[in-house]
Every structure is written in C-alpha cells, then in structure tokens.
Structure 1
Amino acid sequence: MGDIMAPKDIMTNTHAKSILNSMNSLRKSNTLCDVTLRVEQKDFPAHRIVLAACSDYFCAMFTSELSEKGKPYVDIQGLTASTMEILLDFVYTETVHVTVENVQELLPAACLLQLKGVKQACCEFLESQLDPSNCLGIRDFAETHNCVDLMQAAEVFSQKHFPEVVQHEEFILLSQGEVEKLIKCDEIQVDSEEPVFEAVINWVKHAKKEREESLPDLLQYVRMPLLTPRYITDVIDAEVSQARHSGSKTLTSSCSLVSYI
C-alpha cells in the first residue's frame, strides 16, 4: 500500500441499544441484579448501576450515605406497582407507554424518581390532548408538577379557545381568583365582550348564594363599553328582571349598573 491510512474513530449506532437490550434481558431473568425495588408488596429486581445512570433520585440513593445504599431491598413509596413497571421498562428500553388512563399517575411518579424522559413524554402527550373541556385542569396539573412548557401551552390554549372553555365544568368550578386571572387577560381571543360577560354571570349563577357577592369585583374586568346596545337591551335587561324576580339584590344592582354604562 502506497499511503499509510490514518487511524479513524468509528462509531456504530447499535452499541448502546444492544447493551440496553442485554441488560433488560438480564433484569427479566433476575441475573446479576443487585437491588430489589419493592412497591405495594411487589418486587422488581434491577441493577443499581442502570438505575443510578438514568435517575438522579437513584444515583443519590446508591452513592450517598442514605440507609438504602447497601440494602438489598428498597421500599419505594408514592407510586403504584403498575406505574413502577412502566418506569422500569423505560429505564431499560428508552420507551414509555403513555395513555389517557395512566398519565396522571405516571407524571408525578416520573417527577418523584427524576426520570426526565418520562416526564417529557407525559407533557408532550398531555399537550396533544388539550381540549376546551380539559385545558384548565391540565394547566393546574402542569403547574403542580413544574412542567413549565406544558403549563404555558395550556394557558395559551385556554386563551385562544376562551368562548368554548367557559362552557365547560372546569371553568364553572374555578375559584374567584382564577376566574379573574382568566377574564382580565389581554390575550383571550373573543369576537366581542359578550362571552366574557356571560361567563361571569354563569359562574356566579352556578353557586349564586356563595358567589353573588363576587359579581361586582368580576364585572370590573369586563370591558362594558364594548357590549352592543342591542345586547344590553336584550340580554342584560333580562338578567335584571330575573334577578329582581329571584330577590337577588347584588345581581340586580350589578346588572342594572351595566345597563347604564
């Protein structure tokens, strides 16, 4: 050979996957396993090195001076056995099966065990499921588990589909503060101010006795000058008459005030 060929590093795409497959087979046959995770009285044999490499939670458990460091059995609290099985499958296969039925258990468990890949998969799945009937609940769920991107996506969705969102139970069950936050947001997309006014009235009527005192505070966030004269005449005057008939002084005075704006 005339020229001496220079050395070259060659990387294959199959090595990591092959190792994972082999380790998963070893796990399933309980071979070389050095720890057993116990969840709801069910045992899950596993390898400390694999768990520690995939999860900061397990890495801290097995490398610090925690009491679990040298124990052959470790009790895991805060998740179900079926969820643990899904999470272990992810650790050893990089694949996670997320469904409508398991995502509400899977996401908190992934956060607990610090499995970022599962958390991300759950967030992407929930974002794909956003709907006017569930976006407010998904937003709160995302906030609880510090899923910032999902929380923002749900927030934007609720603003974009405001007229449909306020027709559903999730809106009706909001607290006064949450209603205020939604209706005063400049990003809500409505063709007119009428859906905003109706949302406030419907929210109050759902639990009139407890909520009617909140009406004046909420109405200050409705852009009254944008309501059409016809709407004021046809709808708000009807609300005034109905409020008077039911003896609700707060509803009567609040709706009457709108009529004069």
Structure 2
Amino acid sequence: MSDHDDTDSNGESDFEEDDHYDESFKVMKSDEYIGAMLEQLNGQRMDNTYCDFTICVGEKEYPVHQNILATRSEYFKTMFNSKMKEGLDKQVEIKEISNQCMERILDFLYTGKMRFSLQTVEETIRCASLMQLHDLLWHSSEYVATVFTMENCLHFHQLAKLHSMDYLVRRAIQYVLHHFYMVSQQESWKALNVEDLETLVSSKDLMVKSEQVVYESIIGWVKHDIQTRRHHFPTLFNHVRLRSLSVNYVTDVIRKEALIFESTGCTEVVLKHFVEISTSIPNVPRKGYFPEMKINFVSHSHCGIFYLNKQVKVKQSKRHTKKEISTATVHNRKVYFCIQDIDYHNRYDVVCYDGETWEVLTTISFGPQIQHMVVCESRHFQGKFYPHIIQYQHLHIRVLQ
C-alpha cells in the first residue's frame, strides 16, 4: 500500500471538506490493484464470463469485453459507437490474421504484455495498424529497432512507411546510413525506390570510408533495371562528391562510364570537377571519411581516442606524456593539435595526425595558454580574433590566447 494524493487533476479535493480537518484522515492506494484487476478481467475472458462481444478468426471464436476493446483500440471504439452492423450483432470477423496473432493481441489488450520475435513481429504490426493499437505499434517499433540486420533493415523501413511508423522509419534510415556499404550489397538494395535512394545518398549523415561506395551503389541500382532507371542517373550522380575521389578513379572509371556520356549534365559535372581540383575550393567529406583512428595522444592529465566526431577516454599512453593538449581542430581529414610543453609553458608544438602518421609542423612561443586554433587554406581569412598567424606550406594556422 502507498500514500495517495487526495486531489484530482484540477487540484480539487475528491472528498468532503470536513475530512481535511480530521488529523487521522489518510488515503491509501494498492499498488497491486490495477494488475490484479487486469488479471481477473483476463481470466473472465478466458472463461467467457461477463463477455459481451465475439471476435471470429477463421473457425475460432474469441469472447471479449466491449469496454476493454473500446478503451484500448480506436478501431473497436468507432465500431461500437457508430452502430455498425458488427457492433449491433455483437460479433466481428477479422480476416487475414492468424489465430496465434489474434491471441497475442488479446493478451496485450488485457495485460499490456506482448511476445515479440522476428517471425511474428510483421504480422503483429499489420494487425496493430488495422486495429489502431498505437501503443502496440510503438512497442513494435522499439523491438524492431533492436533487431536490425544488413538483410532486413530495408524491408522494415518499407513496412514502417506503409504503416506510418515514423519513429521506425527514422531508426531504419539511421541504421542504413551507418552501415551503408554492407546494406548496399544486399539484394534488397536493388528494390529501393528512387526517392528513398536519393534520401540516402544525399544525407549529410551518410557514413562511408570512400565516396567510391556511394558512386558504385548508384551505378548498381540503375543498371539493375537500366531501361526504366537510366533517366534517374543524372539526379543521383549530382550527390556524388567527386572531390572525395582520387583523380585516377574519376579519370579511369567515371569518365569512361556510358551513363555519364549519355547525360550532358553529368559530363559538365565531371568537367567542372577537374576545374575545381586545380583551385582552393574546399572538399566536403562524408562523415565516415575521417579516419577511425586511435591517437592515444595524452598528457599528464588528458588522454583520448579520436573517432569520427567524439572523444573516448582510454588508458594513458607513454607517448607525449610531458605535453598537454591546449587546443585541437580538424581540417581536411586531419586532426591538428596545439600542444604545450609542461616544462616550458610558453612553448607549443603544432602537430597533425591523419590516422596513421604524426607530423610536427612547427614550434611556436606564445603566452601562458592557447585556447583556440583555426587551420585553413585561404590567404584571405579574416583573423581579427585570431591575430597570431603561423604559415606552414599552403596552410595558415591562427591561434588565440
């Protein structure tokens, strides 16, 4: 038993005002009451006691209580309130559902519990959608999101779209974006519609180690049904980030692709690319391009592994144990550090790491603490707030105390 607030949702008392003047007055609540009541109602359903409605599936009949169904299902609530034939006859036949699924759904309606498995969840979703069991659809979404695989994620994505399960649609897309290469190798990839494919290849959250994966996934999809899909190629090709591909790949593979020659727009994109690579126009890499690196760069008090966009604590390394990271930034798929020597506080090393090798760019003398650093290739970068400029080859490194 537990204490219970004696006011309703409007803040008004459920009891007579005189009760509040009795110091012995207290409301108690049974924590087991709701569970016990549901268990008894479910027992009555199983024993066909006080039941006032029947659901027919095939040759089997399921006695139920209208008030339970109307409370949990918009489908049944509408049926009972609109005086439909089924409501008047106190009986409804539900087709295209197995007895096993109907029994699981009735258990859920009466107990709030559902047994999920990969073999049964799809039928459960279809029936929950038919009966407008929104809470069951939500629980189904949560379950499916835990059992995604390379083989089934696109199938469940389509199923979720069909039944307007927005949360599951988002989770499926997220899974595909994070496992793009492996998913694009599945047979289900070839069955994608063009809208979904464009959503994926244009996403800023797409994670791949090479833009070649994106290009080849588009080529493979188009050539699977080239007669009906070739006109989609120019639109899809515009989402390929040519600057992230090697010059040799663009020259030896992309420029020789027949689909490129068929489209004036695609040819112009490739020609424009060769103009851009001779300029300082910055490349915009995909998320997954940044090396999944283990830097193990530490000081006497700091350490970490730099992954995509996050830093994870790791055991301290013996390397650079007498130096402390003052600030860090990312530029052109490399991490740049400004590292203070703890023995000489005014001396800093500017180093970079590309996931494989370290390079010390320069050593500078500065004030007691560098707080910010900007690395860029533009000579026209306005350094009003970053007045201290270090030039290293084509790079301009600006630091702020």
Corresponding letter in the other structure for 1:15: Y
The aligned counterpart of 2:213 is 195
Q: Which has the higher helix share?
A: 1
Q: Which residue of 2 aligns with 1:56?
A: 74
- Stretch moving more, 199-208 or 29-38: 199-208
Q: Which residue matches 1:206?
A: 224
Whether 1:118 and 2:136 are equivalent positions in the alignment is: yes
**What is the aligned counterpart of 1:67 among 79, 85, 94?**
85
Contact 2:154 2:189 (C-alpha < 8 Å) held by counterparts? yes
Q: Which of 1 and 2 has greater Rg?
A: 2
Aligned to 2:198: 180
The one-letter amino acid of 2:127's match is A
Give 1:27's aligned residue: 45
Q: Equivalent residues in 2 for 1:133-144 (5 A)?
A: 133-144=151-162
**Matched residue, 1:107:** 125
**Using the alignment, how far apart are the partners of 2:85 and 2:231 within structure 1?**
55
Deviation at 1:233, TM superposition (A): 4.7
d(CA) in 2 for partners of 1:139, 1:208:
24
Moved more, 195-204 or 176-185: 176-185
Distance 2:195 2:166 in 1: 21
Counterpart Cα distance in 1 of 2:41 and 2:188:
45
Q: For residue 253 of structure 1, report the CA deviation from its aligned partner.
A: 5.3
User: Quick one: distance in 1 between partners of 2:77 and 2:234?
Assistant: 54
The answer to whether the 8 A contact 1:139-1:150 is kept is yes
158, 163, 186: which one aligns with 1:145:
163
The count of aligned residue pairs is 249
1:82 counterpart residue number: 100
SS in 1 for 2:55: strand
Residues 123 and 147 in structure 1, CA contact (< 8 A), matched pair in contact too: yes
Q: Which of the pair has the greater relative contact order for Cα pairs under 8 Å at 6+ separation?
A: 1
Is residue 139–residue 155 contact of structure 1 (8 Å, CA) maintained in 2? Answer: yes
Secondary structure of the corresponding residue to residue 44 of structure 1:
strand
Residues 81-125 of structure 1, C-alpha deviations (whole Å, 9 max, x = no match): 222111111112211111111111111211211222321221111
State TM-score, norm by structure 2. Answer: 0.57
Deviations 1:196-241 (A, max 9, x none): 111112222323444344433322221222211233355447xx3x
* 1:50/1:259 CA distance change after superposition, 3 Å: closer
The farther-off stretch of 143-152 and 204-213 is 204-213
Give the TM-score, by structure 1 length: 0.84
Equivalent pair of 1:33/1:45 in contact (CA under 8 Å)? yes
Q: 1:111 to 1:236 in 2, by over 3 A?
A: same
Residue type at the aligned position of 2:71: A
User: What is the alpha-carbon distance in structure 1 between the residues aligned to residue 226 and residue 67 of structure 2?
Assistant: 59
Displacement after TM superposition at 1:30 (Å):
1.4
Cα offset, 1:79, TM superposition? 2.8
Residues 14-64 of structure 1 deviation map (CA, whole Å, 9 limit, x = unaligned)? 111111111111111112211111122321111112222222222222233
**Counterpart-to-counterpart distance in 1, 2:80 and 2:195:** 44
User: Residue 56 of structure 2: SS of its match in structure 1?
Assistant: strand
Q: Deviations over 1:111-146 (max 9, x none)?
A: 211222321221111111122332222222112111
Aligned-partner residue type, residue 216 of structure 1: P
1:128 aligns with 2:178: no
Structure 1 pair 209–116 and aligned structure 2 pair: CA distance change class (3 A) = closer
d(CA) in 2 for partners of 1:165 and 1:81? 34
* 8 Å contact from structure 1 (residues 38, 75) kept in 2: yes
The answer for unaligned runs of 5 or more in structure 2 is 1-21, 275-401
